[in-house]
Structure formats: C-alpha cells, structure tokens
Amino acid sequence: MRFNELGQELKVELILDVRHDGHGDFEVRPASPWNYGLLLPDADMKGAIQFEERPVGERPFSPEGAGVVAHVMGRLLPDWKLAHGWAGEFGPGLHQSAEPLEQLSLIPYGCTNIRITEFPRLSG
C-alpha cells in the first residue's frame, strides 16, 4: 500500500512460525507507519479525494497492478496503535493530530498485504 507522493511505501514484516510438524503459519505486520487519519471535510467530501485511474497491471491484485489510486490528505495518529496484532479500535467522531499534513495514496483493499477497511476522520 503506497501512502504518500514521496515514494514512501508501507513496509511489512513477515512473521513465520514453523511448528514442530513442519507446517507453518505466518503473519504480516507493519514495519512502517500505517496509522493515518484522513482529512475529509463535510463541506467538500467529494473534493477531498481525487481518483487516479491507471492501466491494470499484469498482476491486478498487487500494489503495482492496482487500476485505481485514491489521493487524500491525512496525518499520523500516534495514539492509534496495534492491539492484539491488528489495528486497535478508535472512537467515533473527528480526531485531532498535530502531525504534519501528508498526501496519502490509497489502493484497493485486495491489492495489499496490510489492509485497513476504515480510517478515522480528522478535524480541521
């Protein structure tokens, strides 16, 4: 999942757990910031997100092959942390962050290894 126009990508860490019977399980965990809130003002929700269509790649369900990218502004939410190995819950409503505003690039859910289905909204 690409997050910003600076070319920074969400890095992932593969956790392998090989059991004594030779079979293994794995987890994919974030190894770079993932916990962003989105700036989506009520007055201009449509204008806050720009969609970029791209040619579908050879592997359409990969980060490189995604046929659409959504560009939106957001900030890190340092208090939004992992809980029990996944994104922890956050309360309803608008959230505050003093972190720098960044342009984020989001790709479809099925094209990533780390998946976020719902982002917190930021105030202001």
The pLDDT averaged over each successive group of 10 residues in the chain (124 residues) is 44 53 67 88 86 89 86 94 86 94 88 80 88
The pLDDT assigned to 1 comes to 40
The pLDDT assigned to 4 comes to 41
Residue type, position 92, single letter: P
Domain boundaries, the chain: 12-122
The pLDDT assigned to 6 comes to 40
Cα 40 to Cα 82, 87, 114, 124: the distances in Å are: 23, 20, 22, 9
Put simply, whether the predicted model's pTM sits higher than 0.85 gets the answer no
Three-state SS at 16: strand
Q: Look at the alpha carbons of 103, 105, 109, 113 in this order and tell me if their dihedral is positive or negative.
A: negative
DSSP state for residue 123 in the 8-state scheme: P
Find the helix or strand (DSSP H, E) in which 102 lies.
Answer: strand 102-106
- Nearest Cα neighbor of 1 from 62, 52, 49 is 62
Tokens 């289905």 identify what position? 117
For 38-87, give the DSSP string: E---GGGTGGG-EEEE----SSTTSTTT-SEEEEEEEEE-TT--EETTEE
